[in-house]
Amino acid sequence: MGSMNKEQAFELLDAFYEAGGNFVDTANSYQNEQSETWIGEWMKSRKLRDQIVISTKFTTDYKGYDVGKGKSANYCGNHKRSLHVSVRDSLRKLQTDWIDILYVHWWDYMSSIEEVMNSLHILVQQGKVLYLGVSDTPAWVVSAANYYATSHGKTPFSIYQGKWNVLNRDFERDIIPMARHFGMALAPWDVMGGGRFQSKKAMEERKKNGEGLRTFVDGPEQTDKEVKISEALAKVAEEHGTESVTAIAIAYVRSKAKNVFPLVGGRKIEHLKQNIEALSIKLTPEQIEYLESIIPFDVGFPTNFIGDDPAVTKKASLLTAMSAQISFD
């Protein structure tokens, strides 16, 4: 919730629900467990559990702040013990009997695919979890996990969560094709560049008010690439009759693939309204091409050699086209 207090957080959640929102994403470790706790209190006080779809995550150490670093191995990782205590505690904090979507937060490279998928499937059988998701994990791991699950009568992953925006398009290499193959939904985070996609006007206002940008990785000022992409987003925003560059950033990822559900946040109801505005914006192919021309992206080998899936591009790859004229309409 950032620097928000509980009252402010509840006001934002109320506005979100009244606007038609019903999906809330959190994790066992966010704000040292405060996120799940507040969401649980909000749902109970409003009697909204049945109306809200909750996704949470396990894997990240969520007890180190309490028991001390170096003493929290059982609260971290993909292993069965970590999963067991995390789900037990998430259900308590969220004040619910079930979790709609449970994510593997990130792949720890220590637990086997078999252990993870078998353990997750038991939770689904018990009714404690309805659907499985996976976040920040290599495509080859997700593919192997889903093939194992489907071939052994287990529950596969149905949604992938990871970093994706108009400036960072690594999703296009393996994640999107993988999701397309398995029929998985996509829930990208950092769609708005961590709040660093800002118009020139907005940046001037921030400087006037003594506000900097988030400094999780970069400094308080925009990088050259962020400036360029923000200017391009502002140009497209103007074409749509809005000043919101964030609405265009959201509309961009929603236009790139099917079943894309961007994860967005904010501390003000004004931010929420800008995010909702993106739902009514549909970018043209020319606008998408323009945005992608600002910062070059190389999809990498082998896609840059054999081409993308013709079912998506509607065009035969160069090597295929050498054999005959083939239509994919």
For residue 152, give every residue at least 6 positions away whose Cβ sits within 8 Å of its Cβ, in sequence order, or none. Answer: 117
The DSSP 8-state label assigned to residue 71 in this structure reads S
Which single residue is written with the structure tokens 């506005």? 15
Q: What does each C-alpha distance from 294 to 13, 226, 242, 313 come to in angstroms?
A: 35, 10, 20, 21
Contact status, residue 32 vs residue 60, Cβ threshold 8 Å: no
Active site residue 30: yes
Burial class (CB in 10 A: 0-12, 13-18, 19+), 281: buried
Give the C-alpha separation, 10 to 277, whole Å: 21
Which member of 17, 30, 131, 147 is catalytic? 30
Give the C-alpha separation, 213 to 327, whole Å: 48
Contact status, residue 89 vs residue 11, Cβ threshold 8 Å: no
Indicate which residues carry an active-site annotation: 30
